[in-house]
Structures are given as structure tokens and as C-alpha cells.
Amino acid sequence: MKRTLLPDLVVDARGARGGTGVTVEDGVVVGVGPVSDGERLPGRALMPGFVNAHSHAFQRGLRGLVERIEPSRPRDDFWTWRERMYALAEGLDPASIREAGRRCYAEMLSAGYTGVTEFHYVHHRPDGAAYEEPNALAEALVSAAEDVGIRLLLLPVAYARGGVPRFRDPELGVFLARVERLRGYAGDRPLVEVGVAAHSVRAVPRSWLEGIGEYAAAGGLALHVHADEQPREIESCVEEHGMRPIELLEETGSLGPRTTVVHATHADDRELDLVARRGSSVCACPTTEGNLGDGFLPAGRIMGRGIPLSIGSDSHVRIDPFEELREIETNARRLSGRRNLLVPPGETSPAPWLLRAGWGRDAIEPGSPADLVEIDLTHPVLADVDPAALPAALVFGAGSAVVAGAWVDGRRVSGVDKDG
């Protein structure tokens, strides 16, 4: 069915314009332009939906519980947090991971995310034995996404060492066979795509990275990997391989146009040059990186090299795309003592570059998925904001409370109420 939505404003990265309708058909935007008639959305602006490019849905269950010192571990850091995360993961089963995913994805929709990339590594029973259906937990997350109506890129994650037994596979062939099976399961689901991931260079050996890179390239699959999140990770990689994590990804064929390096908070210039050369991207998760003490994204060096950037809410200490984007610029300001730093040549504000990172595109355009967000222009946060200033006001002055609705595949879907 073809329908034309007529909000007060349509927003892109540079501004907002009125008198513009968005026509959608079969889940795709087929027209954007001046119209006089349509389904009116008074008091609303329409803009592209945000994409949450890095999620561990079950970790939302840690929210608030880890913000204290354990008497037995008075020095709290990423590594002590990880122990608590492992304990949470040990208690999951297909029913509980579906419920955790449903709650997490519903909150994402309410915050303005219309798509999520789930970095999924809880595969087996707590003792490491496979479920009767090897992808039982992954399928539970597919069901959770379908329950609420969010678009899902599901990444089964390779884990060979470290972690807990339920994360790990005995050999690469077993892992890839399960990925292949999951791709078949997701094949007829219009809002579900399957890619592949390696957890990190510390969790898989070199031979696995080579095999995963080859498999992803052959299938044209998205490939994601944590890298350069913590100094200790880099030190271990240099000790084992004689090179830094992103250098190892390059050497094993794991960098390419569909590769996303997650975090890169401690990436050096040579590593970023490799990412740029291979056309790979970086996913920043500032609220989680701040919560875990991961460090600061080298945002200026990423922008200067033209590396595509995306955002994720990762451990879900917060689910708010506006806050993720704002933190990228404000962290750069804190480090430099200057303002308006992440401004590409020819532009005057950081807002366009940041919004493109959050949306994964420039604007609502014909041919793009009809994944949209309604913004409440009557909300007190946005009262009296000039349309030309609306993109910057959203990035620097707003939060998820201004989201009034989300559309996925041309259908209006609902998340949780703002009060939970």
C-alpha cells in the first residue's frame, strides 16, 4: 500500500523543511518532495531512524547493578566488570534471552533506533554443550526483534578461548556451520540479516581470523570485531603476534569494505590508516566506553581520514542515540579545550557529520528503507527552535524523550512508554 506522510518538517543533516511529504510503498521510500495532501503528522518532524550498530542485549540486565565497589575487589575496572558480565551470561536460557532482547529492543525503538546490530556470543548451554537446536539462543533474539518490530543484523560471534564455556566453539568449522545454518533460518525474514563476527584478537587465534575473513568475503557478509578497546588487549596482541590488533586484522584478511572495527579507542595512526585504506568503518559506543573506562574515541583522526563512523549502545548503560552522538563531540572538546571540532571541510557544524554517523545515511531519500523517526516538535526541549537549527539542537540539546514514534519498513511500531 502506498501512503504519503506529511509532517510539519522533514529533517536531514543540514536542516529542516516544511511542506514536504514522504511517500512509502512496500517498506521503501518512493518519494520525498512538496505535497499538499497526505496523512498529516501535526507537531511532528520526520527524520531517518538511527541504527544501533553494536549491541549485547543481555547486558542491559547489568544496568545499575555494577555501579558499586565489590569489597573483595576494591580496584574496579573493565576487567572486574567483565567478571560480573560473565556471571549474568551464565544464567541465560532461550526464554530469558528472548525476554532480555525484547525489553532492550523495545527501549531502542522508543529512543529512536529503528535498526540494531546484535553482537551475539552466548551460544551454548552453561557447560559448553550445544543445544538440540545449535542456534537456539540466536533464534530467541530473532524472535525478540520480531516481537517488537525492529530491523536486526544478527552477528554470531566466534569465540575460541577465554570467556566462559558457553561462548566457545571447539573449532572454526563448527562455528561456521552454525552461522550457515542461521543464515538459512533467517533467509525468509524480511527484517533480519545475518553477518559474522570475531569477538576480538584475544578470543580467537590467527587461523580463525583468516577463516572468518575468507568466509565473510565469499558471502558478502558484514564482519565486526572488537579491537583496541583496552591497552592490556593491545599489549597481549603485540606479545603474541608482534603487532597491534588492527594490524593483525589487516594481515589476516579481516579488513574490508564490510568490516566494522568496534571501539578503536586506542588505535594509533598506522592502524587508522589501514582502516581507511581498506574502506572499513569504526563503531563508537561512547556511553559504554565512558562507563567502562575504555578511553576516548580518536574522533578527529577518524573524521580526517574519511573513515565511516557508526554508533552503538553496547552494554546499554544508556540507550539514547542523541547522547552517543553528543558525547563524541563533547569528549573531543574536553580533550582539546576547543569547541566545534568535528567539522568536515565545507561545513560549519559538527551536527551533520554526527547525524550521518547515527543514521548511516544523509537523509530520507527515495530507494532507502522506510525506517523513520517522529520527533515531537512541541516538546519543551525543542520549543521555539528555528528549523534551520533543529539538527544541531537535536544533537546538542535533546535526548530520547523527544522521540514520538518510530517507523520500520513503512509501518509505525511502538516501543516502551517513556516512563518504562
Pairing state of beta strands 28-34 and 20-25? antiparallel
Please list, residue by residue across 153-185, b when 16 or more beta carbons sit within 10 angstroms of its beta carbon and e when fewer do. Answer: bbbbbbbbeebbebbbbeebeebbebbebbbeb
Residue of 263, 294, 316, 409 marked active site = 263
Check residue 73 and report its DSSP letter. B
Other C-beta atoms lying within 10 Å of the C-beta of residue 364: 24
CA dist., res. 145 & res. 139, Å (int): 10
Which of helix, strand or coil describes residue 193?
Answer: strand
Q: What angle do CA 86, 295, 327 make, to 5 degrees?
A: 105
Q: Which of 232, 256, 253 is nearest to 244 (CA)?
A: 232
Check residue 22 and report its DSSP letter. E
CA dist., res. 16 & res. 284, Å (int): 26
Q: Which of 400, 409, 382, 298 is nearest to 45 (CA)?
A: 382
Residue of 12, 228, 294, 314 marked active site = 314
Q: Is 31 left (phi over 0), alpha (psi -120 to 50) or beta?
A: beta
Question: Do residues 389 and 348 make contact, with C-beta atoms less than 8 angstroms apart?
Answer: no
Could you please report the per-residue DSSP string of 227-259?
ESSSHHHHHHHHHHHSS-HHHHHHHTT--STTE
Q: Which of 60, 113, 152, 50 is nearest to 361 (CA)?
A: 50
CA dist., res. 130 & res. 329, Å (int): 44
Question: Do residues 204 and 160 make contact, with C-beta atoms less than 8 angstroms apart?
Answer: yes
N-terminal to C-terminal alpha carbon distance within the chain:
33
Q: Pull the grid cell for residue 43.
A: 507537531
Torsion of CA 143, 145, 151, 154, to 10 degrees: -70
Catalytic annotation present for 263: yes
Which of helix, strand or coil describes residue 328?
Answer: helix
Q: What angle do CA 192, 32, 366 make, to 5 degrees?
A: 40
Q: Pull the grid cell for residue 248.
A: 593483525
Active site residues: 263, 314
